Homo-oligomer: A and B are copies of this chain.
Protein backbone atom coordinates (compact mmCIF):
# COMPACT_ATOMS: atom_id res chain seq x y z
CA UNK A 1 0.00 0.00 0.00
CA UNK A 2 2.52 2.54 1.14
CA UNK A 3 5.47 1.18 -0.79
CA UNK A 4 7.67 4.20 -0.25
CA UNK A 5 5.40 7.03 -1.38
CA UNK A 6 7.23 9.16 1.13
CA UNK A 7 10.56 8.42 -0.47
CA UNK A 8 9.22 8.81 -3.98
CA UNK A 9 7.89 12.25 -3.18
CA UNK A 10 11.16 13.19 -1.54
CA UNK A 11 13.23 12.14 -4.54
CA UNK A 12 10.88 13.74 -7.02
CA UNK A 13 10.85 16.91 -4.95
CA UNK A 14 14.60 17.02 -5.18
CA UNK A 15 14.46 17.05 -8.96
CA UNK A 16 11.65 19.59 -8.98
CA UNK A 17 13.49 22.05 -6.79
CA UNK A 18 17.12 21.49 -7.72
CA UNK A 19 16.91 20.59 -11.39
CA UNK A 20 18.98 17.80 -12.83
CA UNK A 21 20.80 15.47 -10.47
CA UNK A 22 23.00 12.42 -10.62
CA UNK A 23 22.41 9.31 -8.56
CA UNK A 24 25.20 10.37 -6.22
CA UNK A 25 23.51 13.76 -5.74
CA UNK A 26 20.28 12.08 -4.72
CA UNK A 27 22.06 9.77 -2.29
CA UNK A 28 23.84 12.70 -0.68
CA UNK A 29 20.71 14.81 -0.45
CA UNK A 30 18.30 12.18 0.84
CA UNK A 31 20.59 9.93 2.85
CA UNK A 32 18.90 6.89 1.34
CA UNK A 33 20.81 3.78 0.37
CA UNK A 34 22.01 3.43 -3.18
CA UNK A 35 19.82 0.45 -3.79
CA UNK A 36 16.79 2.36 -2.58
CA UNK A 37 17.62 5.37 -4.70
CA UNK A 38 17.89 3.12 -7.72
CA UNK A 39 14.51 1.61 -7.01
CA UNK A 40 12.90 5.05 -6.68
CA UNK A 41 14.57 6.37 -9.80
CA UNK A 42 13.45 3.37 -11.79
CA UNK A 43 9.88 3.80 -10.60
CA UNK A 44 9.87 7.49 -11.49
CA UNK A 45 11.53 6.86 -14.85
CA UNK A 46 9.05 4.19 -15.81
CA UNK A 47 6.23 6.49 -14.73
CA UNK A 48 7.61 9.07 -17.09
CA UNK A 49 8.04 11.67 -14.35
CA UNK A 50 11.81 11.67 -14.74
CA UNK A 51 13.88 11.60 -17.89
CA UNK A 52 17.52 11.24 -18.71
CA UNK A 53 19.36 14.53 -19.02
CA UNK A 54 22.79 13.87 -20.44
CA UNK A 55 25.93 13.08 -18.54
CA UNK A 56 28.35 14.89 -16.31
CA UNK A 57 31.85 15.72 -17.52
CA UNK A 58 34.17 12.96 -16.40
CA UNK A 59 36.14 13.51 -13.22
CA UNK A 60 38.60 10.79 -14.11
CA UNK A 61 36.33 7.83 -14.65
CA UNK A 62 32.99 6.90 -16.05
CA UNK A 63 30.69 9.85 -16.52
CA UNK A 64 27.75 10.13 -14.17
CA UNK A 65 24.31 10.09 -15.74
CA UNK A 66 22.06 13.02 -15.03
CA UNK A 67 18.31 12.80 -14.54
CA UNK A 68 15.76 15.57 -14.58
CA UNK A 69 12.13 16.13 -13.80
CA UNK A 70 10.11 15.72 -16.98
CA UNK A 71 7.78 18.68 -16.94
CA UNK A 72 6.19 17.41 -20.14
CA UNK A 73 4.74 14.36 -18.45
CA UNK A 74 1.45 16.14 -17.98
CA UNK A 75 -0.45 19.36 -18.36
CA UNK A 76 -2.16 21.70 -15.94
CA UNK A 77 -4.99 24.14 -16.55
CA UNK A 78 -5.14 27.20 -14.34
CA UNK A 79 -7.45 30.19 -14.07
CA UNK A 80 -6.52 33.36 -12.25
CA UNK A 81 -9.79 35.15 -11.62
CA UNK A 82 -9.28 38.78 -10.66
CA UNK A 83 -11.79 41.39 -9.64
CA UNK A 84 -12.24 42.65 -13.16
CA UNK A 85 -10.40 40.20 -15.39
CA UNK A 86 -9.57 36.60 -16.03
CA UNK A 87 -6.29 35.01 -17.04
CA UNK A 88 -6.13 31.36 -17.95
CA UNK A 89 -3.15 29.28 -18.92
CA UNK A 90 -2.04 25.87 -20.02
CA UNK A 91 1.11 24.94 -18.11
CA UNK A 92 3.54 22.08 -17.97
CA UNK A 93 4.24 20.32 -14.69
CA UNK A 94 7.09 22.70 -13.96
CA UNK A 95 4.77 25.66 -14.00
CA UNK A 96 5.88 27.01 -17.37
CA UNK A 97 3.16 28.77 -19.32
CA UNK A 98 2.65 27.09 -22.68
CA UNK A 99 -0.35 29.09 -23.78
CA UNK A 100 -2.58 31.67 -22.19
CA UNK A 101 -5.70 33.75 -22.69
CA UNK A 102 -7.15 36.78 -20.99
CA UNK A 103 -10.59 38.32 -20.81
CA UNK A 104 -12.20 41.27 -19.10
CA UNK A 105 -15.03 40.01 -16.98
CA UNK A 106 -16.14 41.33 -13.60
CA UNK A 107 -16.16 38.69 -10.88
CA UNK A 108 -19.38 40.23 -9.60
CA UNK A 109 -21.28 38.46 -12.37
CA UNK A 110 -21.35 35.48 -10.05
CA UNK A 111 -19.87 32.00 -10.05
CA UNK A 112 -21.80 30.36 -12.89
CA UNK A 113 -21.11 32.93 -15.64
CA UNK A 114 -17.51 33.41 -14.64
CA UNK A 115 -16.74 29.70 -14.36
CA UNK A 116 -18.48 29.21 -17.71
CA UNK A 117 -16.08 31.74 -19.19
CA UNK A 118 -13.23 29.76 -17.63
CA UNK A 119 -14.54 26.59 -19.27
CA UNK A 120 -14.58 28.30 -22.65
CA UNK A 121 -11.00 29.43 -22.18
CA UNK A 122 -9.94 25.94 -21.24
CA UNK A 123 -11.70 24.53 -24.30
CA UNK A 124 -9.79 26.89 -26.57
CA UNK A 125 -6.37 26.44 -25.01
CA UNK A 126 -4.38 23.95 -27.10
CA UNK A 127 -4.69 21.11 -24.66
CA UNK A 128 -3.77 17.89 -26.42
CA UNK A 129 -6.82 15.69 -26.29
CA UNK A 130 -5.88 13.48 -23.42
CA UNK A 131 -5.57 10.03 -24.91
CA UNK A 132 -3.36 7.17 -23.78
CA UNK A 133 -1.04 7.89 -26.68
CA UNK A 134 -2.31 11.33 -27.55
CA UNK A 135 0.16 13.59 -25.80
CA UNK A 136 0.58 14.62 -22.18
CA UNK A 137 -2.54 14.12 -20.10
CA UNK A 138 -4.33 16.73 -18.04
CA UNK A 139 -3.31 16.21 -14.42
CA UNK A 140 -5.07 18.96 -12.53
CA UNK A 141 -6.96 22.23 -12.57
CA UNK A 142 -6.42 25.20 -10.27
CA UNK A 143 -8.44 28.36 -9.80
CA UNK A 144 -7.80 31.53 -7.83
CA UNK A 145 -10.40 34.07 -6.80
CA UNK A 146 -10.15 37.60 -5.39
CA UNK A 147 -11.43 36.85 -1.94
CA UNK A 148 -11.00 34.62 1.12
CA UNK A 149 -11.03 30.90 0.45
CA UNK A 150 -11.57 27.99 2.76
CA UNK A 151 -8.62 26.14 1.31
CA UNK A 152 -9.24 22.56 2.37
CA UNK A 153 -12.82 22.68 1.18
CA UNK A 154 -12.04 24.68 -1.95
CA UNK A 155 -14.83 27.16 -1.50
CA UNK A 156 -15.14 30.93 -1.22
CA UNK A 157 -16.11 32.35 2.18
CA UNK A 158 -17.67 35.74 2.89
CA UNK A 159 -15.97 37.48 0.00
CA UNK A 160 -16.43 41.25 0.33
CA UNK A 161 -16.36 41.98 -3.39
CA UNK A 162 -17.57 38.70 -4.91
CA UNK A 163 -21.32 38.93 -4.82
CA UNK A 164 -23.00 35.56 -5.02
CA UNK A 165 -19.86 33.50 -4.46
CA UNK A 166 -20.23 33.00 -0.73
CA UNK A 167 -19.96 29.32 0.06
CA UNK A 168 -19.80 28.30 -3.60
CA UNK A 169 -17.97 24.98 -3.97
CA UNK A 170 -15.52 25.95 -6.70
CA UNK A 171 -13.29 22.92 -6.29
CA UNK A 172 -16.23 20.55 -6.48
CA UNK A 173 -17.51 22.26 -9.62
CA UNK A 174 -14.16 21.93 -11.34
CA UNK A 175 -13.50 18.39 -10.17
CA UNK A 176 -16.85 17.21 -11.45
CA UNK A 177 -16.25 18.82 -14.81
CA UNK A 178 -12.67 17.73 -15.47
CA UNK A 179 -12.31 14.67 -13.27
CA UNK A 180 -8.85 15.61 -12.04
CA UNK A 181 -7.30 17.08 -8.91
CA UNK A 182 -8.71 20.54 -8.28
CA UNK A 183 -7.30 23.34 -6.15
CA UNK A 184 -8.72 26.71 -5.20
CA UNK A 185 -6.93 29.57 -3.49
CA UNK A 186 -6.94 33.30 -3.01
CA UNK A 187 -5.50 35.29 -5.92
CA UNK A 188 -2.82 37.10 -3.95
CA UNK A 189 -1.78 33.96 -2.11
CA UNK A 190 -0.98 32.25 -5.39
CA UNK A 191 0.90 35.31 -6.65
CA UNK A 192 2.98 35.26 -3.49
CA UNK A 193 3.64 31.59 -3.99
CA UNK A 194 4.65 32.07 -7.62
CA UNK A 195 7.05 34.88 -6.77
CA UNK A 196 8.40 32.89 -3.85
CA UNK A 197 9.24 29.95 -6.08
CA UNK A 198 10.62 32.16 -8.82
CA UNK A 199 12.96 33.90 -6.41
CA UNK A 200 16.22 32.58 -5.02
CA UNK A 201 15.83 29.42 -2.94
CA UNK A 202 16.21 29.70 0.80
CA UNK A 203 14.11 32.84 1.10
CA UNK A 204 11.36 31.57 3.31
CA UNK A 205 9.71 34.82 4.24
CA UNK A 206 8.07 36.92 1.55
CA UNK A 207 5.39 39.57 1.55
CA UNK A 208 3.44 40.07 -1.66
CA UNK A 209 1.51 43.26 -2.26
CA UNK A 210 -0.94 43.39 -5.15
CA UNK A 211 -2.12 46.79 -6.26
CA UNK A 212 -4.63 46.42 -9.04
CA UNK A 213 -8.16 47.73 -9.00
CA UNK A 214 -8.12 46.88 -5.32
CA UNK A 215 -5.34 46.19 -2.86
CA UNK A 216 -4.46 42.84 -1.34
CA UNK A 217 -1.54 40.95 0.06
CA UNK A 218 -0.25 37.45 0.48
CA UNK A 219 2.16 36.15 3.07
CA UNK A 220 4.77 33.43 2.74
CA UNK A 221 6.13 32.42 6.14
CA UNK A 222 8.69 29.64 6.47
CA UNK A 223 8.11 28.81 2.83
CA UNK A 224 4.41 28.24 3.21
CA UNK A 225 1.36 30.33 2.50
CA UNK A 226 -0.04 31.89 5.66
CA UNK A 227 -3.82 31.58 5.45
CA UNK A 228 -5.01 32.35 8.95
CA UNK A 229 -7.87 30.80 10.88
CA UNK A 230 -10.58 31.42 8.29
CA UNK A 231 -8.43 31.86 5.21
CA UNK A 232 -8.76 35.62 5.45
CA UNK A 233 -5.13 36.48 6.20
CA UNK A 234 -3.41 39.14 4.14
CA UNK A 235 -6.21 41.64 3.99
CA UNK A 236 -4.04 44.71 3.93
CA UNK A 237 -6.32 46.64 1.60
CA UNK A 238 -8.95 47.28 4.21
CA UNK A 239 -6.71 48.41 6.99
CA UNK A 240 -7.30 52.03 7.91
CA UNK A 241 -4.95 54.22 5.90
CA UNK A 242 -2.40 56.53 7.46
CA UNK A 243 -2.38 59.74 5.49
CA UNK A 244 0.64 61.94 5.24
CA UNK A 245 -1.19 65.25 5.50
CA UNK A 246 -3.69 65.76 8.31
CA UNK A 247 -7.16 65.51 6.80
CA UNK A 248 -8.47 68.95 5.95
CA UNK A 249 -11.16 70.01 8.42
CA UNK A 250 -14.59 68.98 7.32
CA UNK A 251 -13.28 66.51 4.77
CA UNK A 252 -14.92 63.14 5.13
CA UNK A 253 -12.81 60.02 5.05
CA UNK A 254 -12.99 58.18 1.76
CA UNK A 255 -15.76 55.63 1.40
CA UNK A 256 -14.52 52.16 0.50
CA UNK A 257 -16.33 49.56 -1.54
CA UNK A 258 -16.09 47.18 1.42
CA UNK A 259 -18.61 49.44 3.16
CA UNK A 260 -16.13 50.87 5.64
CA UNK A 261 -14.40 54.24 5.48
CA UNK A 262 -10.75 55.25 5.35
CA UNK A 263 -9.34 51.94 4.07
CA UNK A 264 -5.93 51.84 2.38
CA UNK A 265 -7.65 50.70 -0.79
CA UNK A 266 -9.96 53.69 -0.71
CA UNK A 267 -6.95 55.99 -0.96
CA UNK A 268 -4.34 54.00 -2.81
CA UNK A 269 -6.03 51.30 -4.87
CA UNK A 270 -6.50 51.45 -8.62
CA UNK A 271 -10.11 52.56 -8.43
CA UNK A 272 -9.24 55.29 -5.94
CA UNK A 273 -6.55 56.42 -8.36
CA UNK A 274 -9.10 56.64 -11.17
CA UNK A 275 -11.56 58.43 -8.87
CA UNK A 276 -8.98 61.06 -7.91
CA UNK A 277 -7.66 61.44 -11.45
CA UNK A 278 -11.10 61.98 -12.93
CA UNK A 279 -13.05 63.93 -10.32
CA UNK A 280 -16.78 64.04 -10.73
CA UNK A 281 -17.01 60.50 -12.00
CA UNK A 282 -20.04 58.53 -10.89
CA UNK A 283 -19.31 55.78 -8.38
CA UNK A 284 -20.24 52.99 -10.77
CA UNK A 285 -17.95 54.43 -13.40
CA UNK A 286 -14.71 54.55 -11.44
CA UNK A 287 -13.88 50.88 -11.77
CA UNK A 288 -14.33 51.03 -15.53
CA UNK A 289 -12.16 54.13 -15.71
CA UNK A 290 -9.13 52.33 -14.26
CA UNK A 291 -7.67 51.24 -17.64
CA UNK A 292 -7.91 54.81 -18.93
CA UNK A 293 -6.26 56.11 -15.77
CA UNK A 294 -3.41 53.65 -16.20
CA UNK A 295 -2.99 54.73 -19.82
CA UNK A 296 -2.63 58.30 -18.64
CA UNK A 297 -0.06 57.20 -16.07
CA UNK A 298 1.87 55.25 -18.67
CA UNK A 299 1.87 58.28 -20.98
CA UNK A 300 3.70 60.30 -18.33
CA UNK A 301 0.93 62.62 -17.21
CA UNK A 302 2.33 64.68 -14.33
CA UNK A 303 -0.81 64.72 -12.25
CA UNK A 304 -1.21 60.96 -12.63
CA UNK A 305 2.41 60.42 -11.62
CA UNK A 306 2.00 62.57 -8.54
CA UNK A 307 -1.11 60.67 -7.55
CA UNK A 308 0.53 57.30 -8.16
CA UNK A 309 3.51 58.28 -6.06
CA UNK A 310 1.18 59.36 -3.29
CA UNK A 311 -0.66 56.04 -3.52
CA UNK A 312 2.71 54.36 -3.14
CA UNK A 313 3.46 56.27 0.02
CA UNK A 314 0.09 55.42 1.55
CA UNK A 315 0.63 51.80 0.65
CA UNK A 316 4.13 52.09 2.09
CA UNK A 317 2.73 53.00 5.48
CA UNK A 318 0.69 49.81 5.52
CA UNK A 319 3.54 47.72 4.14
CA UNK A 320 5.89 49.13 6.77
CA UNK A 321 3.54 47.82 9.41
CA UNK A 322 3.47 44.42 7.78
CA UNK A 323 7.25 44.41 7.55
CA UNK A 324 7.63 45.16 11.25
CA UNK A 325 5.13 42.48 12.11
CA UNK A 326 6.30 39.74 9.74
CA UNK A 327 9.97 40.55 9.11
CA UNK A 328 10.02 39.26 5.53
CA UNK A 329 13.23 38.96 3.54
CA UNK A 330 11.61 40.41 0.46
CA UNK A 331 8.57 42.48 -0.42
CA UNK A 332 7.23 41.84 -3.92
CA UNK A 333 4.94 44.37 -5.50
CA UNK A 334 2.59 43.34 -8.29
CA UNK A 335 -0.78 44.14 -9.82
CA UNK A 336 -1.60 46.29 -12.84
CA UNK A 337 -1.47 49.61 -11.06
CA UNK A 338 1.85 48.95 -9.34
CA UNK A 339 3.39 47.52 -12.50
CA UNK A 340 2.55 50.61 -14.55
CA UNK A 341 5.82 52.49 -14.29
CA UNK A 342 7.92 52.66 -11.15
CA UNK A 343 5.93 55.37 -9.45
CA UNK A 344 3.94 53.32 -6.99
CA UNK A 345 6.96 51.19 -6.15
CA UNK A 346 9.08 54.27 -5.56
CA UNK A 347 6.50 55.65 -3.17
CA UNK A 348 6.39 52.37 -1.27
CA UNK A 349 10.16 52.15 -0.98
CA UNK A 350 10.37 55.72 0.18
CA UNK A 351 8.18 55.07 3.20
CA UNK A 352 9.13 51.52 4.12
CA UNK A 353 12.83 52.17 4.39
CA UNK A 354 12.15 55.24 6.49
CA UNK A 355 9.50 53.72 8.71
CA UNK A 356 10.39 50.15 9.46
CA UNK A 357 12.93 49.09 12.01
CA UNK A 358 16.62 48.83 11.15
CA UNK A 359 16.94 45.08 11.74
CA UNK A 360 13.92 44.34 9.61
CA UNK A 361 15.01 46.60 6.72
CA UNK A 362 18.76 46.05 6.87
CA UNK A 363 18.64 43.42 4.17
CA UNK A 364 15.07 43.89 3.00
CA UNK A 365 14.53 43.83 -0.76
CA UNK A 366 11.53 45.58 -2.26
CA UNK A 367 11.10 44.59 -5.87
CA UNK A 368 8.46 44.42 -8.59
CA UNK A 369 6.95 41.06 -9.47
CA UNK A 370 9.52 39.08 -11.43
CA UNK A 371 6.77 37.19 -13.21
CA UNK A 372 4.78 40.29 -14.05
CA UNK A 373 1.14 39.59 -14.78
CA UNK A 374 1.81 35.90 -14.72
CA UNK A 375 2.60 35.67 -10.99
CA UNK A 376 -0.88 34.34 -10.43
CA UNK A 377 -1.10 31.64 -13.08
CA UNK A 378 2.43 30.44 -12.41
CA UNK A 379 1.79 30.36 -8.69
CA UNK A 380 -1.34 28.33 -9.30
CA UNK A 381 0.54 25.84 -11.44
CA UNK A 382 3.35 25.54 -8.89
CA UNK A 383 0.97 24.96 -6.03
CA UNK A 384 -1.02 22.46 -8.03
CA UNK A 385 2.13 20.57 -8.95
CA UNK A 386 3.11 20.51 -5.28
CA UNK A 387 -0.24 18.99 -4.41
CA UNK A 388 0.03 16.38 -7.17
CA UNK A 389 3.53 15.34 -6.16
CA UNK A 390 2.93 15.28 -2.43
CA UNK A 391 3.38 11.86 -0.77
CA UNK A 392 -0.38 11.45 -0.54
CA UNK A 393 -1.02 12.03 -4.24
CA UNK A 394 2.02 10.56 -5.90
CA UNK A 395 0.70 6.99 -5.97
CA UNK A 396 -1.95 7.92 -8.52
CA UNK A 397 0.67 9.04 -10.99
CA UNK A 398 2.48 5.73 -11.04
CA UNK A 399 1.38 2.83 -13.21
CA UNK A 400 -0.20 -0.24 -11.63
CA UNK A 401 -2.17 1.60 -8.90
* Interface positions of A (Cβ within 8 A of B): 148, 157-158, 160, 203-205, 217, 219, 221-222, 224, 226-236, 238-240, 242, 246-247, 258, 317-318, 320-322, 324-329, 355, 357-360, 362-363
Contacts and interface: CB of A to CB of B under 8 A. Distances in A.
Given A205-B229, A229-B205, A219 B325 contact: yes
A221 B226 contact: yes
A261 to B, nearest CB: 11
B359 A232 contact: yes
A230 B246 CA distance: 34
Nearest to A324: B235
A202 to B, nearest CB: 10
Given A235-B325, A240-B321, 13 more contacts: A148-B359, A158-B359, A158-B362, A160-B359, A205-B229, A221-B226, A222-B224, A226-B226, A229-B363, A230-B359, A230-B363, A318-B321, A322-B325
Given A224-B222, A242-B240, A317-B240, A357 B232 contact: yes
Nearest to A147: B359
Given A226-B222, A226-B326, A326-B226, A232 B158 contact: no
B240 A329 contact: no
Contacts of A325: 217, 219, 233-236, 239, 321-322, 325-326
Highest count of chain B CB atoms <10 Å: which of A148, A229, A317: A229
Contacts of A233: 325-327
Copies in the assembly, this chain: 2
B359 A327 contact: no
Contacts of A328: 228-229
A355 B240 contact: yes
Nearest to A246: B246
A204 B322 CA distance: 20
Nearest to A358: B158
Contacts of A230: 327, 359-360, 362-363
A205 B222 contact: no
Pick from A224, A239, A325, A326 the residue with the most CB of B within 10 Å.
A325
A229 B329 contact: yes
Nearest to A158: B359
A228 B205 contact: yes
Contacts of A229: 203-205, 327-329, 363
A96 B157 CA distance: 40
B158 A231 contact: no
Contacts of A242: 240, 242
A373 to B, nearest CB: 25
Contact of A360 (B221, B228, B246): B228
A324 B236 contact: yes
A11 to B, nearest CB: 18
Contacts of A357: 160, 232, 235, 238, 258
Contacts of A239: 320-321, 324-325
**Can you list the 6 inter-chain pairs with the closest CB atoms, starting with the nearest?**
A228-B327, A229-B329, A233-B327, A232-B327, A158-B359, A205-B229
Contacts of A318: 321
A219 B360 CA distance: 16
Contacts of A238: 324, 357
Contacts of A359: 148, 157-158, 160, 230, 232
A242 B362 CA distance: 25
Contacts of A222: 224, 226
Contacts of A203: 229
